[in-house]
Amino acid sequence: MTAPLADLVLVEDTHFYDDRQFGVYDRMRTEAPAYYYQPLDVFLLTRMEDVRYVSTHPDQFSNAAGLTLNQLRMAKAGASAAFERFNEPGGELVITKDPPRQRALRALMSQNLTPRYLQGFGDALDGFCRDLLDRAGDGSPFDFVSSIAAQLPLYVAAALLGVSEVDIPRMKSWVAALEDLTRVTSAAELEEPGQRFDELKRFLRDQLELKRRVPGNDMISAFLASTLDGSPPSEAIVLAHVATLMSNGGTTRLLLSSIASFLAASSSQLELIRADPGLLDGVIEECLRLMPPARGFVRTATADVELAGTRIRAGQRLYLLYPAANRDPGHFTDPDRFDPARRQAYGHASFGFGTHFCLGAGLARMEAKALFTELISRYSAIRAAGTPTRYEHVQLNGWATLPVTLHR
Amino acid sequence: MKITIDRDRCVGSAYCQRIAPATFDLGDDGIAVVLDADVAGPQAAAAREAEADCPSMAISVGES
């Protein structure tokens, strides 16, 4: 690969993210660890130490001025204002804030996503996994993404939020709308998902009203009972965070599918886990590392700083490229190797670092563990049943379709 | 050993609890707590590993 890096680093193009991306990252790490991507005035970070540093210094690197490459592109096209219709006045969202406000907003959610709280949903989760696998059949090909991976997070979100299963098909279309909002390339494309998003807001307002009248053991009731600045959080803030919870089903869908694809690619892996169920945790972490569901996030420097030998001015952006950091040979031995027993299994960047560390990490891992524990208890093999297709998205990473068969 | 958790930095990832369960747990508020700082041998090594792997650098392990 002797072409100039500038010809190869095409991070706004979804087709860049095939297997060739990793060779490009290797060159970036050595030639330009803070690679200046001129079209969006952003430095692309490919080394783990730099990704970790930026993530853990929110006083120097802000979340408040854009989080995705698509947002930077829309801002450059003058289309940011079109997104404003989705922001309720006062509807602050934790991921777009910096400390100290970010910590207060995070505390609203974190109590309801602790392992202890989630344990209470363990039985329901196991039930969902059994139901979904019951429908998978034995030996006939099906799409793992639509039949299982997309469904489980929806059922879990509905249970956590105290939403009736009857409303799950509508939830599914709203979650899809939220994802579509993240990949629009023009203001005109916002219209249709925007309408679905408006429906979601109306639905959530109704749910809030129901829970106000009859509180239950669910996260909406918990939000309504919590305090922010000494009083219950505003409806706008609750809406923003509930919508986020629902939409995180997307990254979970991608994780569950990637695990299935790794198991299908290695004929022995499933048997190894059957023999040693303790391996499943490491399998999940290696899938997270090698195929991070969220590919990266933007930060904005709030002061001039030097990073990776590069001068960055206040106001310039940095992009934390997780798939690159996760294969940094300075951090992982033999980084391209799928090794569930590796010592540094949890050291990947896929849930981020620092104060914005993924709030849903425990829940995502719990879903993955429950689903694949159930799958492995029933089946001795999962095999590819055709060519999978990639999800064409700049920020979200994984399969759109994954045809497989399951065998007892 | 002297083990402290910076409550402002802790993000409740529970990595510490997974790596060194004899030493760390998560409280009901989702923030890590030190169960027992008097650990030695492999448990002490695990506590140091938890310090290194904490995603928000919230753990501090030192000699008493």
- All residues at 6 or more sequence positions from A307 whose CB lies less than 8 Å from its CB, including other chains: A34, A43, A45, A50, A53, A54, A318
Q: pLDDT tens for residues A219-243?
A: 999 888 988 888 889 888 888 888 8
Domain count along chain B = 1
Element (DSSP H or E) covering residue A61: strand A61-62
pLDDT at residue number A188: 80
Closest CA to A115 of B31, B38, B5: B31
pLDDT at A86 over 70: no
Distance from CA of A139 to the nearest CA of B (A): 36
Is the CB of B11 less than 8 angstroms away from the CB of A103?
no
Identify the structural domains of chain A with CATH numbers, from first to last.
Answer: 5-407 (1.10.630.10)
pLDDT band at residue A84 using 50, 70 and 90 as cut-offs: low
Helix (H, G, I), strand (E, B) or coil at A297: strand
Q: Would the CB atoms of B29 and A114 count as touching at under 8 Å?
A: yes
What's the pLDDT score for residue B11?
92
Nearest to A110 among B12, B18, B55 (CB): B12
Query: What pLDDT shows up at residue A257?
Result: 98
pLDDT (mean) for B8-22: 91
Q: Which of A355, A359, A365, A369 to mutate to test the interface with B (most CBs of B within 10 A)?
A: A355
In CATH, what number is assigned to the domain containing residue B49? Answer: 3.30.70.20
Q: Which residues of B touch A (CB under 8 A)?
A: 8-9, 11-15, 17-19, 26, 28-30, 53, 55-57
Q: For residue A296, is pLDDT > 90? A: yes
* Chain A residues inside the 8 Å CB shell of B30: 110-111, 113-114
Nearest to A345 by CA among A357, A354, A333: A333
| Three-state secondary-structure class, residue A279 | helix
pLDDT, residue A88, reads: 67
| Residue with token string 């940094």 | A328
Span A130-166, pLDDT tens digits: 999 998 867 899 999 999 999 999 999 999 999 988 8
A57 in contact with B at a CB cutoff of 8 Å?
Answer: no
CB < 8 Å & 24+ apart, contacts of A24-33: A25/A321, A25/A323, A25/A324, A25/A327, A26/A327, A27/A1, A28/A324, A29/A324, A29/A328, A31/A5, A32/A5, A33/A308, A33/A309, A33/A310
Q: Is residue A162 left, alpha or beta, with left meaning phi > 0 and alpha meaning psi from -120 to 50? A: left
Phi-psi region of A243 (alpha: psi -120 to 50; beta: other; left: phi over 0): alpha
Is residue A360 over pLDDT 70?
Answer: yes
Range of the domain at B46: 2-62
Helix runs in A214-266, H state only: 219-225, 235-247, 249-265
Q: Do B11 and A357 touch (CB under 8 A)?
A: yes
Query: What single letter denotes the amino acid at residue A327?
Result: R
Mean pLDDT across chain A? 91
ipTM for the whole complex? 0.91
B28 and A114: CB-CB below 8 Å? yes
Q: Report phi then psi at A174, rounded to 5.
A: -75, -40
Are B55 and A362 a contacting pair at CB < 8 A?
no
Contact A56 B57 (CB under 8 A): yes
Place of tokens 């993955």: A368
Are B55 and A116 inside 8 Å of each other by CB? Answer: no
